[in-house]
């Protein structure tokens, strides 16, 4: 009979293969990062849009980039840093919302906040600035938490709120944390936001291979039915087949009330941009229902309200031209026309901004 390997030999081979796997992973991670740096790198900026935040769990990193977007010195989705001090006669605008504001499917210069800034600079003042505070999957509560840091420091002349499609997702994510939003609303506690979002995972923020797996490999596995769809996604689809949740609407409205008050407390003018969709998917009617509900309160509070449906009414072609495949994120054309609509309503006749 041959000699069986002893415990030390087994440990040696386990350690040997572990080191090989770790070394291979490190080489692959480094190679991918080098490739992205060569192809997309921006001088003075670091790769990876997200960083840890002790309030939100994660927020956009300052002076960062990924393969499509950049952030500036305040973590806004802007190529240019915040112009400070603001020149005489110039206006500073901050826009808040989720991915419909961030415009993840568009380049930095194609987003509707960027297009609005281009319009202002070409017609009004060369130092007008529109700062994009949108962040993927953020609810209004997330945006308000960030605004409480930004607005006292930057004192914008105008704040545009374009949020609502992530309210149900926020409630579901809170439930996964053991927090019942409905119970909080009944107690008069408003503004709870989830801190277990995808970008709050340390590995998602810091390991490129994890992002490649999540964005490239996992979707294919779902399509081929090799892995079950994530439970959260299924729950979300079920919720979007139901009418808007009254408790979630109530929470959204109370956060909006406080948001408008914050803007005014620091000398800003509040505006509310109602979200819209192209009618492709019935579930999107529920997503935008929260924003529609907010429009009534925004008008009651004296904020300027811009209806996104006006884009569809004015556009001669099919509504699908104006939106990305999700049906509620703007396409490049939709973003351009959204900026034109906002400019026309908020600035063309304005003399007090």
Find how far residue 138's CA is from the centre of its chain: 5
Burial category of 204 from C-beta neighbours within 10 Å (exposed 0-12, middle 13-18, buried 19 and up): middle
Cα angle 96, 210, 234 (rounded to 5 degrees) comes to 65
**Residue 59, pLDDT score:** 97
Look-up of token digits 């002893």: 6
What six digits make up the tokens of 55?
Answer: 């309030």
The pLDDT tens digits for 282-313 are 999 999 999 999 999 999 999 999 999 999 99
pLDDT band at 351 (very low <50, low <70, confident <90, very high): very low
**Residue 224, pLDDT score:** 81
Could you tell me the residue ranges of all domains in the chain? 1-40, 45-196+228-346
pLDDT band at 236 (very low <50, low <70, confident <90, very high): low
Chain-wide mean pLDDT for the chain? 92
CATH of 45-196+228-346, one of 3.40.50.1100, 3.40.50.1110, 3.30.160.270, 3.90.1150.10: 3.40.50.1110
The pLDDT tens digits for 157-177 are 999 999 999 999 999 999 999
- The DSSP result for 146-169, as a single string, is HHHHHHHHH--SEEEEE--TTHHH
Cα–Cα distance for residue pair 159/264, rounded to 1 Å: 10
pLDDT band at 16 (very low <50, low <70, confident <90, very high): confident
Stated pTM of the model: 0.91
């Amino acid at each position: 009979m041959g000699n069986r390997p002893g415990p030390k030999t087994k440990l040696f081979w386990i350690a040997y293969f572990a080191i090989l796997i770790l070394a291979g992973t490190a080489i692959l991670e480094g190679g991918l990062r080098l490739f992205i740096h060569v192809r997309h790198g921006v001088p003075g900026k670091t790769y990876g849009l997200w960083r840890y935040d002790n309030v939100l769990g994660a927020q956009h990193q300052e002076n960062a980039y990924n393969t499509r977007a950049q952030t500036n010195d305040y973590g806004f989705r802007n190529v240019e840093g915040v112009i400070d001090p603001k020149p005489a006669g110039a206006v500073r605008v901050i826009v808040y919302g989720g991915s419909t504001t961030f415009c993840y499917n568009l380049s930095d210069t194609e987003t509707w906040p960027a297009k609005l800034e281009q319009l202002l600079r070409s017609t009004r003042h060369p130092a007008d600035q529109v700062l994009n505070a949108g962040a993927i999957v953020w609810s209004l509560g997330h945006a308000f938490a960030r605004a409480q840091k930004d607005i006292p420091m930057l004192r914008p002349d105008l704040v545009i709120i374009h949020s609502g499609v992530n309210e149900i997702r926020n409630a579901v994510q809170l439930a996964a944390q053991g927090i019942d939003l409905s119970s909080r609303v009944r107690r008069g506690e408003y503004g709870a936001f989830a801190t277990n979002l995808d970008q709050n995972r340390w590995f998602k923020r810091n390991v490129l291979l994890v992002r490649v797996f999540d964005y490239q490999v996992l979707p294919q596995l779902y399509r081929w039915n090799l892995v079950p769809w994530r439970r959260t996604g299924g729950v979300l689809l079920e919720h979007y087949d139901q009418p808007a949740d009254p408790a979630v609407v109530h929470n959204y409205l109370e956060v909006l009330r406080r948001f408008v008050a914050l803007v005014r407390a620091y000398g800003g003018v509040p505006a509310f941009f109602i979200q819209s969709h192209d009618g492709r998917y019935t579930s999107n009617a529920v997503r935008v229902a929260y924003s529609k509900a907010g429009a009534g309160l925004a008008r009651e509070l004296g904020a300027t309200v811009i209806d996104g449906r006006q884009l569809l009414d004015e556009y001669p072609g099919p509504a699908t031209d104006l939106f990305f495949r999700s049906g509620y994120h703007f396409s490049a054309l939709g973003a351009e026309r959204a900026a034109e609509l906002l400019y026309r309503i908020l600035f063309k006749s304005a003399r007090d901004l």
